[in-house]
Structure 1
């Protein structure tokens, strides 16, 4: 009955109900006969992608059945028939974090308090996946497009089609997965999946939330600075004031100190060496403590002063 209701609500998956497109299919908004609105992720059916889509479909089901957390998307059910394969989720009103950051409509209301709350929510979800699920779950494709937002600006990690369960005593080597610009650098020469890969992606997401855009140039500057002893490196030119999103008022007081600490945490997560990155459990504990950094009278600080290599030598 639910299957037929979804087909009816989307008019056989008409394009006008499509609210997003992912690597393995498209997401549709469906209002059921009960009045409830759900999101339906319909997987591709073309012959050339059928095997990959089927694997992603099964992987997402198995992962979301095991992972239950307020900051992880809720899976209501799934359907696999000769006609269609799809997953049914809760519908989140504001769409993806990427949509919010790229749009001008809501950006002025996406203030520092809401942004810090989004970062905390994602940290809690990843800490749960890495440290409270047994065996641990690695997302492998954390990015702003895979973080969905409800009307309270609460973050929900989604799209587990490439997630990897780290089973003990088995190989955790796998094919490449992830979104360009968010993938940990070690995956360029090794295909071994570890939790620290998610930690790096989380660092990118933090900076994207704080800057209002993907931090590609800043990450490149930090990487070149780490490999250079010169004080004239490009990273030394970056200041907190220029890095923060200019579309909303500059933070002050305790909020500025907390934003600066979050940036410091992001830079630690982006360490080129996985062993120098904190675990997500450490990150969530630090964030929960509402730590802040004292900023001088100028209200600014160089980002290189926030870089603390070897802070978490685990």
Structure 2
């Protein structure tokens, strides 16, 4: 497959590049079989950063070979030699959520109902990673650029280069990772990774999906215990008026997002709780504090 990828991308020519991030660039490759895949070529860094470069590559392989979920991007294979380190994924036609939200017409196509489903998709994926994987997996970089959409607007969590598999007998302390504007505030002074870091990032993302851009001005308001964000004040103005049913779901997402942004990590709900809340049709009361128990795995 490696030689096929090289041929299909003309040795990773820029014309085939469909995205680029901190650790690699992604290329669209049509194989002789007719299948289309996304090939992520890890950036070649200077010698001093080679260890970090290699770690991100192995991190992604380790995380993605252990998980199978409909809302997590599928890793088909990987290869590494003296020239390149490459990860091969399923190809998702619509690209990143960030890219879609930044374009006027494409953002309109992402109607209220589709946006509700995107938030649910991400919640289900994170719930699976935190509560159904052993050891639990914390993504550490949940942001709109790392959420990909297929042709039916189904959302997939991608880019596991900074993911951390939590060890129950370890402090799980680490260096900074993530995208500014989505990172939980406690990481600035504790550097301790828990699943609540992803919960905070999910809260930011959920508001971004509804607002249509990063909710910087609303984060401090939403994190307040007395937060009372009105849907009309945050809903993307490019969208048509939602039905009553969809409007209720959007309001529920705003409520859940505000709970995820609480300053005290232990007061945030777990992703399992969020996933369950968004799956039921009736209004669910989110507790002001979360007591570790059947709904939360203590890490």
- TM value normalised by structure 2: 0.93
Task: Find the residue that maps to 2:190 and give its secondary structure.
Answer: coil
Indicate yes or no: 2:38 matched with 1:3.
no
Whole-Å separation in 1 of the counterparts to 2:41 and 2:109: 32
**C-alpha contact (below 8 Å) 1:93/1:150 kept by paired residues:** yes
**Shift of residue 292, structure 1, vs aligned partner:** 4.2
Paired residue for 1:303? Answer: none
Listed as ranges, the matches of 1:263-282 within 5 Å are: 263-282=254-273
Paired residue for 2:20? Answer: 21
**Shift of residue 313, structure 1, vs aligned partner:** 4.6
Whole-Å separation in 2 of the counterparts to 1:181 and 1:109: 26
**C-alpha contact (below 8 Å) 1:261/1:291 kept by paired residues:** no
Aligned pairs, number: 291
Listed as ranges, the matches of 1:257-268 within 5 Å are: 257-268=248-259
Paired residue for 1:298? Answer: none
**C-alpha contact (below 8 Å) 1:44/1:50 kept by paired residues:** no
Q: Which has the larger radius of gyration?
A: 1
Whole-Å separation in 1 of the counterparts to 2:82 and 2:96: 30
**C-alpha contact (below 8 Å) 2:231/2:250 kept by paired residues:** no
**C-alpha contact (below 8 Å) 2:222/2:261 kept by paired residues:** no
Tell me the alpha carbon deviations over residues 223-254 of structure 1, each in whole angstroms, 9 at most, x when there is no partner.
5x55xx9xxxxx77x53212101101122312
Paired residue for 1:46? Answer: 45
Paired residue for 2:288? Answer: 310
**Shift of residue 50, structure 1, vs aligned partner:** 2.2
Paired residue for 1:169? Answer: 169
**C-alpha contact (below 8 Å) 1:182/1:201 kept by paired residues:** yes
Task: Find the residue that maps to 2:133 and give its secondary structure.
Answer: coil
Task: Find the residue that maps to 1:185 and give its secondary structure.
Answer: coil
Paired residue for 1:214? Answer: 214
**Shift of residue 51, structure 1, vs aligned partner:** 1.8
Q: What's the Cα RMSD here?
A: 1.7
Paired residue for 2:295? Answer: none
Listed as ranges, the matches of 1:112-131 within 5 Å are: 112-131=112-131
Task: Find the residue that maps to 1:28 and give its secondary structure.
Answer: strand
Indicate yes or no: 2:82 matched with 1:82.
yes
Paired residue for 1:156? Answer: 156
Paired residue for 1:179? Answer: 179
Tell me the alpha carbon deviations over residues 197-236 of structure 1, each in whole angstroms, 9 at most, x when there is no partner.
000000000000011110001113345x55xx9xxxxx77
**Shift of residue 311, structure 1, vs aligned partner:** 4.9
**C-alpha contact (below 8 Å) 1:60/1:161 kept by paired residues:** yes
Tell me the alpha carbon deviations over residues 249-272 of structure 1, each in whole angstroms, 9 at most, x when there is no partner.
122312111111111000001111
Listed as ranges, the matches of 1:62-101 within 5 Å are: 62-101=62-101
Q: Structure 2: give runs of 5+ residues left out of the alignment.
A: 293-299
Tell me the alpha carbon deviations over residues 160-200 of structure 1, each in whole angstroms, 9 at most, x when there is no partner.
00000011212301111010000001111101100000000
Whole-Å separation in 2 of the counterparts to 1:203 and 1:145: 15
Whole-Å separation in 2 of the counterparts to 1:159 and 1:254: 33
Paired residue for 1:102? Answer: 102
Whole-Å separation in 1 of the counterparts to 2:222 and 2:257: 12
**Shift of residue 46, structure 1, vs aligned partner:** 2.9
Paired residue for 1:135? Answer: 135
**C-alpha contact (below 8 Å) 2:73/2:90 kept by paired residues:** yes
**Shift of residue 108, structure 1, vs aligned partner:** 1.6
Tell me the alpha carbon deviations over residues 268-289 of structure 1, each in whole angstroms, 9 at most, x when there is no partner.
0111111111011111111111
**Shift of residue 26, structure 1, vs aligned partner:** 0.6
